[in-house]
Amino acid sequence: MNGSSPERAWRRRGALAALAAAALLPLLPPLQRAELAWLDTQWRLLRRLAPPAAAAARDEPVVVGIDEATYQGIAEPFALWHRPLGELFAALAAAGPRGVLVDIALPERSFDRVLPGSDAALLAGMHALARAAPVVYAVMSGPDGRPRPVFAPLAAVAGAHSFASALLPLDEDAHVRRLGGAAGNLEPATMAAALAARLGVASPHADALIDYAPRHRFDYLPMQDLLALQRAGRSDELRARLGGRPLVLGVVLAYSDRLATPVPLAAWQDDAAAPPGVLVHAQALRTVLSARAVQPAPPAAACALVLACAALGWLRLPAAAVPASVPPALALPVMALLALALLSTALLRAGWYLPAAAAAAALVLTALARQALEAALALRERARLRSAFAGYVSPQVLQQLLAGELDPARPDGPRPMAFLFADLRGFTTRGQHEAARETVAMLNRYYDAIVEPIHAQGGMVDNFRGDGIMVVFGAPQPQPDAARAAMLAAGGMVRALTALNRQLRSEGRPALEMGIGIACGEAVAGQVGSRQRHDYTAIGDAVNVAARLQDQCRPQRAQAVVSTEAATRLRAGEAQIRELGEIELRGHAPVRCCALTWPDGWPDGTVNAAAA
């Protein structure tokens, strides 16, 4: 619907305000957390439904784990593991790996005074490993956040470019998703990037994401098992299992060095999403070596997506293009949300991260804003129509018109209805002696008095015919007892006219005299007329009967004449009833009737004196 010019202006202003608000959404912390939650959901969906092909063996890291059994199998405390580590490094060198990532802290000083020869054993193992393959050792951070030193001879054997930070970048929810940014003065920033550089593999941008889509989880080769193979002289078996593969050495204890990740990484833990840190390094190394780092989309693209979704949320599909069971206002936003989810997930699998939560929020925000604006405009229009037409139709009809419930193609009924006709006696003659302006003013005072009790009983004023009125009870909304409601309304009309006549007498004006006819029966209500001009009315035999009964008030000396069928609906004390028997009606078969009188109406015999 196009609406009027002011409405179009409101819609334009609303659209601009919604777009401006949508542009700020990515800056809100709750939406930033929602972005991360949706990203994790996408990783899990891809892992389950569309995982990428397994990485080549030369890019798939093998984890060598220091577990609880390893700790129990070595008598010395970890700080004095110089000989076991030297033996381990020599065994790894003999296996011929592609590269080695060591995620354990090297000693900060010599312990030769405690265990003579231990430094030499560790130095020999490190020297053998350095000659066999590129190696990157972890640099740990102290309590002050600064890198902890490494025993100088060990650092010299390893080489200046063989150290990298063991820290992994954490997002605001303490999960590891990114490959790494700058950490202190260490370049490159992370161990995976450092080993990739040593192997000649291009390192991705620091803002790139770790690929968590591969379904394969990591198991580990226990350190004591590897030492047992080496001591047993089974070097061929070691070369078969580890040769040409990237190796990652680290601690896999149950409660040590755990990092939260979007998906589980440990094959020996069912649903743990906080695997040992060494597995996160292995996942990062797998991502870099297999060139599967996920690149973030340019900020301009993410901003454009937010604005595009905000614009889509403001639009709506034509009602004809939407199934009848779907609200038109929801069709386009729902389809756009589904398309956004599919697009962002497909791009993620292809190696691009396009933030979608802010775009989805912008779409929902603008759709709700459009709905709120349309509701406000509809209320405003309804208030305007109510103000403009309240005086032209009865409240029941206006309510159904505003609600769109009046269907001209489907009349209501047939159903029980009641009809009331009222007419002023002698008013036509009176109008011949008064100015037209005074006659209209008197009629308006009269109708102001009698319409209120009609509406109070649920009556619908069908029309005003000069000094006559036709009222329908039971349409457009059904009434449980339309006939009784009509007679109660008639009593209210009599009392209202009595009060008006008192005012007229005080003004020196002649009183008014009214006759009422009421009949009930089956009738049909609906719109009658042409497409250019029509009325809402009711059609039935009782309409004619009520009109004829009104003419019987003066000859029957009654305030109201009603059909006996209607009179039986009154309760004791609601009116005085006098049987009239069958009455011949003009153009209609005889009808059994009753005369109704209300003692508290028309007192002193000043009006309708024949009824006194």
Q: What is the CATH number of the domain that holds 568?
A: 3.30.70.1230
207 and 312, same domain (yes or no): no
The answer to whether residue 42 is domain-embedded is no
Q: Which percentage of the chain shows pLDDT scores above 90?
A: 47
Examine the pLDDT at 603 and tell me if it is beyond 50. Answer: no
Q: Which percentage of the chain shows pLDDT scores above 70?
A: 83
In this structure, the dihedral spanned by the alpha carbons of residues 176, 179, 182 and 186, taken in order and rounded to 10 degrees, is: 110
Q: What is the edge-to-edge ordering of all strands in the sheet holding 163-165?
A: 163-165, 135-139, 99-103, 246-251, 62-66, 220-222
Please compute the mean of the pLDDT values over residues 576-605 and round it to a whole number.
Answer: 84
User: For the packed helices 328-349 and 357-389, what is the interaxial angle rounded to 10 degrees?
Assistant: 170
458 and 362, same domain (yes or no): no
Examine the pLDDT at 606 and tell me if it is beyond 50. Answer: no
pLDDT: is 331 or 326 the higher one? Answer: 331
Mean of per-residue pLDDT scores for the chain: 84
Here the tokens at position 69 are: 């059994």
Here the tokens at position 259 are: 């990092």
331 and 202, same domain (yes or no): no
pLDDT (tens digit per residue) in 144-166: 778 888 889 998 999 878 999 88
pLDDT category of residue 14 using cuts at 50, 70 and 90:
low
| Pairing outcome for strands 514-529 and 460-465 | unpaired
13 and 78, same domain (yes or no): no
**595/105 Cα distance (integer angstroms):** 111
Nearest to 561, CA basis, from 590, 596, 592, 586:
596
Examine the pLDDT at 186 and tell me if it is beyond 60. Answer: no
Here the tokens at position 10 are: 């409101």
User: For the packed helices 482-506 and 436-456, what is the interaxial angle rounded to 10 degrees?
Assistant: 140
pLDDT (tens digit per residue) in 275-305: 999 999 999 999 999 989 999 988 888 888 8
pLDDT value of position 406: 60
Examine the pLDDT at 98 and tell me if it is beyond 70. Answer: yes
The answer to whether residue 387 is domain-embedded is no
pLDDT (tens digit per residue) in 481-530: 999 999 999 999 999 999 999 999 999 888 999 999 999 999 998 888 77
Rounded to an integer, what is the distance from CA 414 to the centroid of its chain?
A: 43
The answer to whether residue 328 is domain-embedded is yes
353 and 415, same domain (yes or no): no
Q: Indicate the range of 252-266, 559-573, 591-605 predicted with least confidence.
A: 591-605
Instruction: Choose the final residue of a domain: 313, 336, 366.
Output: 366
pLDDT value of position 324: 60
240 and 359, same domain (yes or no): no
Q: Phi and psi of 83, rounded to 5°?
A: -70, -50
Instruction: Choose the final residue of a domain: 291, 323, 356.
Output: 291
The answer to whether residue 571 is domain-embedded is yes
The answer to whether residue 396 is domain-embedded is no
150 and 226, same domain (yes or no): yes
Angle at 214 between CA 212 and CA 217, to 5 degrees: 95
Rounded to an integer, what is the distance from CA 38 to the centroid of its chain?
A: 16
The answer to whether residue 454 is domain-embedded is yes
Cα–Cα distances in angstroms (integers) from residue 374 to residues 107, 366, 546, in the given order: 70, 12, 45
Please compute the mean of the pLDDT values over residues 175-200 and round it to a whole number.
Answer: 74
Q: Indicate the range of 75-79, 336-340, 377-381 predicted with least confidence.
A: 377-381
12 and 27, same domain (yes or no): yes
Amino acid at 425: R
pLDDT value of position 557: 86
pLDDT category of residue 185 using cuts at 50, 70 and 90:
very low
Examine the pLDDT at 208 and tell me if it is beyond 80. Answer: yes
Angle at 52 between CA 49 and CA 55, to 5 degrees: 145
The answer to whether residue 384 is domain-embedded is no
Here the tokens at position 606 are: 């000043």
Residues ≥6 apart with Cβ < 8 Å to 242:
62, 92, 95, 96, 97, 221
Rounded to an integer, what is the distance from CA 314 to the centroid of its chain?
A: 14
How many structural domains are present in the chain? 3
Helices within 169-210 (DSSP H only): 191-198
244 and 339, same domain (yes or no): no
**594/565 Cα distance (integer angstroms):** 9
Q: What is the DSSP letter of 612?
A: -
SS3 107: coil
195 and 228, same domain (yes or no): yes
SS3 487: helix
Distance separating the N- and C-terminal Cα atoms of the chain: 60
**596/348 Cα distance (integer angstroms):** 84
Range of the domain at 129: 53-291
Here the tokens at position 212 are: 């968590």
pLDDT value of position 611: 36
Please compute the mean of the pLDDT values over residues 126-138 and round it to a whole number.
Answer: 94
Beta-carbon count within 10 A of 456 CB: 12
278 and 306, same domain (yes or no): no
Here the tokens at position 433 are: 């002696």
535 and 552, same domain (yes or no): yes
Instruction: Choose the final residue of a domain: 366, 390, 418.
Output: 366
The answer to whether residue 386 is domain-embedded is no
